[in-house]
Structure 1
Amino acid sequence: MRRISGRPARTGGDSPVNQRDASRPPQSGKGRARRGRRNHHGQGCEAQPYGAPMNTSLGLTGAAVALGIGLLIGLERERHKGRGDSRTCAGLRTFAITALLGYVAMQVGGSLLLGVMAICVALLVTVVYWRSLNSDPGVTSEVALLTVLLLGAMCGTAPELAIAIGVVVAGLLAYRQKLHHFARSQLSEAEMRDGLVLLIAALVVLPLAPDRYIGPYAAINLRTICTLTVLLMTVGAIGHIAVRTLGRRYGYVISAIASGFASSTVTIASMGHIAATEPDNVKVLGAAALFSNLATVTQVGLILGTVDIGLLRPMWWPLLGGATATALYGLCLMFPRPARGANQPIKVGGAFNLKLALIVTLAMTGITFLSSAMLDRFGEVGVMVTATLSGFADAHSSTASIASLAKSGQLPFDAIAGPMLIAISSNSLSKCLVAWISGGHRFAAYVIPGQILLTLAMWAGTWAQ
C-alpha cells in the first residue's frame, strides 16, 4: 500500500461514509426528494411538494390595479380624442393595454424588459406624433401613455403610490381647460413672481440657514429669522388667495383665523401691510387682525389641556372672556356693511410685500434681543419677569413653559393664571407695536382698542374665577 505524506491511504471500503451508506436501507426516488435539499450554509431547506398551488393573489392584485389605472386615464382620453381622421392616437383600450404591458414586462423580465418596452412604445408614439403634427402639435396624450406604462410597472411593488399618481394624472388631464384659464387669465405676473420668491425662500434659503444662536446674549438665530420671514410671506399669500376666492369681507377674516394658529403677531403684521396698500378696507382688515387672537386663545387652551387637563380649570373663565370680547369687537367692526371698500372690485397685485416682511421680522428680532438683554442684565427674578419678557415675542412658548413648570410640581396649578396672563398682556403690547409699524395709525386705531379689550376681559375672568 502506498503512503502519501506519511499517512496510509484509505480505500473506499474502509471509509466511514461508505460503511454508513452500506448499512442504510435503500430509498426510492420519492423518499430522497422528501429529504429536501441543503442550502449553501448547510441548513436543511424543506422542499415544496410537486404540484402545490402557487399564491397568485399578489399578482392578480397588481394586475387589477394596473388595469384600473389604464382604464381611468384611458376613459378620460377617450372622451377627448375626437373622431375621424383628426382623432388622437390613444384611447380607452390603448391605455388599458399599455398599463398591463408595463406590469407584465416588469414581472416577467424586470427592469431590462421594461426598458425595452418603454423604448418601443416611445418609438411608436414618436411616429404617431410626427404624422399628426400638423393637426395636433400637443404631446399630452403621448406623454400620458408613457406614464401609464411606468405606472403599470410600479403596480407590482408600490400599488398604492401608483394609484395616487394615476388619479393625479387623470385629474390634470380632466381639468386642463380650467388650469389653462387659471394660468392665462387668473394668475397675474406679480403673483407668479411672488410665488417663485416664496418657494425659493422656503425650499432653498430656509434649509440652508444655520439653526444656532449667535451675537450678543445669544439672541439672534438666523433660522428663526428666515422662518418668520417665510411665515409672514405665507400668511400674506394665504390671505391673498382667500380674498381672491371669497372676497375682501370674509376672505381676510377666514385667512387671519387660520394663520393665527401659526402666529397671530405675524398675521396682524400682514393685515397691517394690506391696510397700508388698501386704505378703504382698513376697518375690515382691523377686524381680521383681531380675529387672529381667537386662534391664540384656542391654542393656549390646547397647550394647557395637552400638558394636563387640570390646568384648564384656573384658566377657563379668562380664556372664555377673551374669546367672547374679541369676537364681539370684531363683529362690530365688520357690521354694518361698509359703504365702500369691501364691495369694490378686487385689484389683482402681488401676494405679499417682501420688504415689509423683512422689516417686521427685524422688529420682532429686536424685541427678542431686548428681552434677552434684560434677562442677562437683571437675572432670573421669577416666573413673572420671565413670562413678561418672553411674551413680547411669543405667547405660546411662555404658555408651554409655565404649563411645564406646573406639571413638574414647581408651580401650583392655581398659581399659573398670573404669569400666564402677564405673558399674554405683554404679547398684546407687542401686537400693538407691530400693528402701528405695519399698518400706520389708522390700522392701529382699530387694533389697539381690541387688544386692550381682550387683555382686560381675560384679567376680569381671573377675578371672577
Structure 2
Amino acid sequence: MVVPVTDPLLSIAVQLFIAVGIGALVGLEREQAESGGSFAGSRTFPLIALYGAVVQAFFPAVLPVALAAISLPLTVAYAGKIWIEGDIGLTTLTAALLTVLLGALTTYSSLGTVIAIIVAGIVTVLLSAKGEIHGFVDQIEPEERRATIKFVLVAMVVFPLLPNRELEGLLGLNPQFVWLMVVFVSGLSFAAYVLSRAVGAERGIALTGLLGGFVSSTATTVSMANRTSGTPALYQICAFSTVLAAIVMFPRALIEVAVVNPALLPHVLVPLGAMTVVGLVVAGVVYWRSTVERGIESDIENPFRLRPALVFGALFALVLLVSEYANDWLGSSGVYATAFVSGLADVDAITLTLSKLAADGTITPEVATTGIVLAAIANTAVKAGLAWILGTRALGRLVTAVLGVVALAGVVLLFV
C-alpha cells in the first residue's frame, strides 16, 4: 500500500531533516575540535537531535521525562570520558543537552524551527571560538571583570524590582524606563568596548576613532589632544581620530531614536545622516593628507561601571523632567534651550528624552528633531573646545574647521 505524501507528512519530514542537520553541525564542530573525544561526535549529536525532534513531534507530553532519561546516560558517558581522558570541561555535555532541546524545537512549530536554526548557529560559533574567547577574557583586567559582573547583576536585579509606572513622588518619572535606558546606553558602549579589546592593542586609527566614539567620544578627544601635546607632529592623524569619534555620535543617536521612537527616525535621519556623510568626507580628506601611518591607542575603559551608570541615570531623569517642564512653561524654545545645554555634557540623555516625549505626543517630531540636532551641534562644539584647550593649536584649528563644516551642515538642514 502506497502512503500518499500529504502536506503534514512532508512538513514533519523537513523538520526532522533540519533537526538532523542541526545535530550534525554541532557534532562536526565538536569532533573537529577534538573536544568530544570518546564521548560524542558527528554521529551522536545528530541522533540526540533527532531524539528530541521525534519525542516533541509524537509524544510532546513526555518531553521532560525524555530529556531526563537521556540526561542520565549522557552524564554517565561524560563521567567516563573524564575518568579516561582527564578532561573535566562541561562544554560538550552542555552542548549535547542543548542539542536535544534544539531538535525538539524544530518540530514544535515553524517559529521554533527558525529559533532552533539561529540558536544552533550561535552555539556553533561559541564552540568554535574557544581560543578567541579565552584570549579576550585573559586581556581583561580582574578589576574590569568584577566591574562588569557587578553591573550586570545589579541591572538584572534592579530592573524587575522597579515599578513600571509614573510615580507622583518622582514628579511623574517611570523608574523602570529610566533604568532601561541606562542599561541600553551602557550596553551600546560595552559592545564597542568588547570589539576594541577583541582586536588587540595595535588598533588602526580609524578603528580607534570609531570604537572610541561609541564608548566615549569625549574620552577619545581628550586622549588624542594629550597625544599631540607630547608629539605635535601627529596633529593630523589625531585630528582624524577625534573627528571620527565625534561623527560616530550621530549614528549612535539614530540607533537610540530607532529603539525608543521608530516613528521619529525619518525626521532625524536627514540632518544627522547628512552631518555624518559630510563629516566622513572631510575627515577622509584629513586622513588622506596625513603622512603618518601608525596606530593610536585611545584610553577606552570598560563602560560597565556602576557609578557612571548611576550618574547617567540621574542625568537622564533630570533632562527628562527639565525638558517636560520647559516645554510646558516656555514651549519649543524651552526645549531647544534645554537640548543645547544638555548637549554640552551628553547627547544620549537628551536624544532618549526627546524621542520619548515625541512618542508620548508631548512635543512634535519637528521640535524633537531640532532639539536633537542642536544637542549634537553643542556637543560637537565641546569637542572642538577640548582640542584647543588640551591639544596643540594645529590640532585645534583642524578639528574646529572640520567639525565647523559638520555643524554648519546640520544648521542649514534645520532651516531648509
Using the TM superposition, name which of 347-356 and 127-136 deviates more. 347-356
1:64, CA displacement in angstroms? 1.9
CA RMSD between the two structures = 5.4
3-state SS in 1 of match to 2:295 = coil
- Equivalences for residues 28-427 of structure 1 within 5 A: 53=4, 55=6, 56-81=9-34, 87-107=37-57, 109-112=59-62, 115=65, 118-119=68-69, 122-123=72-73, 125-127=75-77, 129-130=79-80, 132-138=82-88, 139-157=90-108, 158-183=112-137, 185-200=138-153, 202-210=155-163, 211-212=165-166, 214=168, 218=171, 222-223=175-176, 225-227=178-180, 229-244=182-197, 245=199, 247=203, 249-255=205-211, 259=214, 270-275=216-221, 279-280=226-227, 283=239, 286-292=242-248, 294-295=250-251, 326-327=279-280, 330=283, 337=290, 343=295, 350-351=302-303, 354-359=306-311, 362-363=314-315, 365-366=317-318, 379-380=329-330, 383-389=332-338, 392-393=341-342, 394=350, 397=354, 423=371, 426-427=374-375
Counterpart in the other structure of 1:46:
none
Residue 450 and residue 399 in structure 1: after superposition, are their counterparts in 2 closer, same or farther (change >3 A)?
A: farther
| 8 Å CA contact 1:81, 1:88 repeated in 2 | no
1:288, CA displacement in angstroms? 3.4
1:460, CA displacement in angstroms? 5.3
Give, in whole Å, the separation in 2 of the partners of 1:124 and 1:301.
48
Residue 449 and residue 297 in structure 1: after superposition, are their counterparts in 2 closer, same or farther (change >3 A)?
A: farther
Deviations 1:419-459 (A, max 9, x none): 78974675257536976999995389687776665444544
Residue 359 and residue 299 in structure 1: after superposition, are their counterparts in 2 closer, same or farther (change >3 A)?
A: closer
Residue 295 and residue 329 in structure 1: after superposition, are their counterparts in 2 closer, same or farther (change >3 A)?
A: same
1:95, CA displacement in angstroms? 2.8
Deviations 1:276-320 (A, max 9, x none): 577327756632343135438979999xx97799x89xx98x879
| 8 Å CA contact 2:218, 2:383 repeated in 1 | yes
| 8 Å CA contact 1:428, 1:452 repeated in 2 | no
Deviations 1:17-62 (A, max 9, x none): xxxxxxxxxxxxxxxxxxxxxxxxxxxxxxxxx9985843233233
Deviations 1:81-132 (A, max 9, x none): 59xxx95133333333333334444455554487257425623641563365
Residue 298 and residue 92 in structure 1: after superposition, are their counterparts in 2 closer, same or farther (change >3 A)?
A: closer
Give, in whole Å, the separation in 1 of the partners of 2:273 and 2:23.
55
3-state SS in 1 of match to 2:40 = coil
Residue 201 and residue 96 in structure 1: after superposition, are their counterparts in 2 closer, same or farther (change >3 A)?
A: same
| 8 Å CA contact 1:66, 1:100 repeated in 2 | yes
Deviations 1:172-229 (A, max 9, x none): 333333333333x33432442343244335444345444526568x476544653554
Residue 326 and residue 374 in structure 1: after superposition, are their counterparts in 2 closer, same or farther (change >3 A)?
A: same
Gaps of at least 5 residues in structure 2 are 229-237, 343-349
3-state SS in 2 of match to 1:92 = coil
| 8 Å CA contact 1:240, 1:351 repeated in 2 | yes
1:255, CA displacement in angstroms? 3.6
Give, in whole Å, the separation in 2 of the partners of 1:326 and 1:198.
34
Using the TM superposition, name which of 353-362 and 159-168 deviates more. 353-362
Give, in whole Å, the separation in 2 of the partners of 1:213 and 1:76.
52
Counterpart in the other structure of 1:442:
390
3-state SS in 2 of match to 1:199 = helix
**2:387 counterpart of 1:431:** no
**Amino acid aligned to 2:86:** D
Give, in whole Å, the separation in 2 of the partners of 1:307 and 1:107.
44
**How many residues align structurally?**
381
Percentage identity across paired residues of the two chains: 18
1:333, CA displacement in angstroms? 6.7
1:73, CA displacement in angstroms? 2.6
Counterpart in the other structure of 2:233:
none
**Amino acid aligned to 2:76:** T
1:135, CA displacement in angstroms? 1.9
1:148, CA displacement in angstroms? 3.3
Give, in whole Å, the separation in 1 of the partners of 2:71 and 2:204.
51
Deviations 1:244-265 (A, max 9, x none): 33826222433467x5xxxxxx
Rg bigger for which structure?
A: 1
| 8 Å CA contact 1:272, 1:440 repeated in 2 | no
3-state SS in 1 of match to 2:85 = coil
Residue 372 and residue 192 in structure 1: after superposition, are their counterparts in 2 closer, same or farther (change >3 A)?
A: same
Residue 390 and residue 223 in structure 1: after superposition, are their counterparts in 2 closer, same or farther (change >3 A)?
A: farther
3-state SS in 1 of match to 2:124 = helix
Give, in whole Å, the separation in 2 of the partners of 1:107 and 1:229.
43
TM-score normalised per structure 2: 0.65
Deviations 1:324-361 (A, max 9, x none): 76446655776755979x73567785345554454455
Residue 369 and residue 355 in structure 1: after superposition, are their counterparts in 2 closer, same or farther (change >3 A)?
A: same
